[in-house]
Amino acid sequence: MKPHTVILPFLLPRLSDPAAAQLVALLRALFTAIEHHYADQVHRHHKRQANRRYDHATARDPPSDPPF
**pTM (two decimals):** 0.58
pLDDT at 60: 61
pLDDT at 68: 62
How far apart are alpha carbons 48 and 30 in whole angstroms? Answer: 26
What digits encode the pLDDT tens for the residues 15-66? 999 999 999 999 999 999 999 999 999 999 999 999 887 776 777 655 666 6
For the chain, report the end-to-end CA distance as a whole number of angstroms.
Answer: 63
Q: Are 15 and 23 in contact (CB under 8 A)?
A: yes
